[in-house]
Amino acid sequence: MAKNIEYLEKSFNEAEKLRNNGNFKEAISIFLKIIKENNNFEPALNNIANCYFQLNKYELAERYFLECLKINENNLTTLNNLGLLYLKNKNFKKSLSIFNVSFTKNNNQEKVAEKIVYCLTQLNLIKELDKICKKLIEIFPNNKIILSYNRKNLFKIGKHEEALKVYRKETGVIELNNDDVNIV
């Protein structure tokens, strides 16, 4: 048993090296051998999916990401990778759904929050975007991407004064009063 674990670890490291060097087909071959030995090995499944993603074989990538999630639905890396896959294919509804699940599991993911806002914008869900931006700005008050989407959306829905406040926060505004200079 120990010899088998040692072999799997060595194989995994070799496949990782190949993947990191862009040899995706060779890496897939080794990862698949690992899966034959241990079909519930999440890192290998996730890496197979990532390799297929890099090779623009999105259906195969999706299949392996979903296999990985069957083993562990709480795997944030896999959830986020699947969300990125859907985003890459401009399937904003699926991407939004996956990123929402991931963010619900851990709301300290600033990049995921940005992707949620982007998906809502692409889907033109302006009311939902307005609500989520308010919540996300409480968590990430200085995130320029979220502030920018929020500002644009506020102008779009006619909340001009609120949009200007966000713009000031987003860019920082210099006010000149007599001899005083205030950076807001």
Beta carbons of 117 and 90 less than 8 angstroms apart: no
What's the pLDDT at 174? 44
What's the pLDDT at 55? 97
Tell me how far apart the 2 most distant CA atoms of the chain are, in Å.
80
Give percent of the chain above pLDDT 90. Answer: 74
Give pTM, 2 decimals: 0.85
| Domains in the chain: ranges and CATH | 1-72 (1.25.40.10), 75-171 (1.25.40.10)
Query: What average pLDDT does range 74-103 have in this prediction?
Result: 97
The secondary element (H helix, E strand) that includes residue 180 is: strand 180-183
Work out whether strand 180-183 and strand 174-177 pair parallel, antiparallel, or are unpaired. Answer: antiparallel
Instruction: Please identify which residue in the block is written with the tokens 């999916």.
Output: 49
Give how far Cα 178 sits from Cα of 27, 40, 92, 173, Å.
Answer: 67, 70, 50, 16
Instruction: Please identify which residue in the block is written with the tokens 């609120």.
Output: 162
How do residues 124-134 score in pLDDT, each as one tens digit? Answer: 999 999 999 99
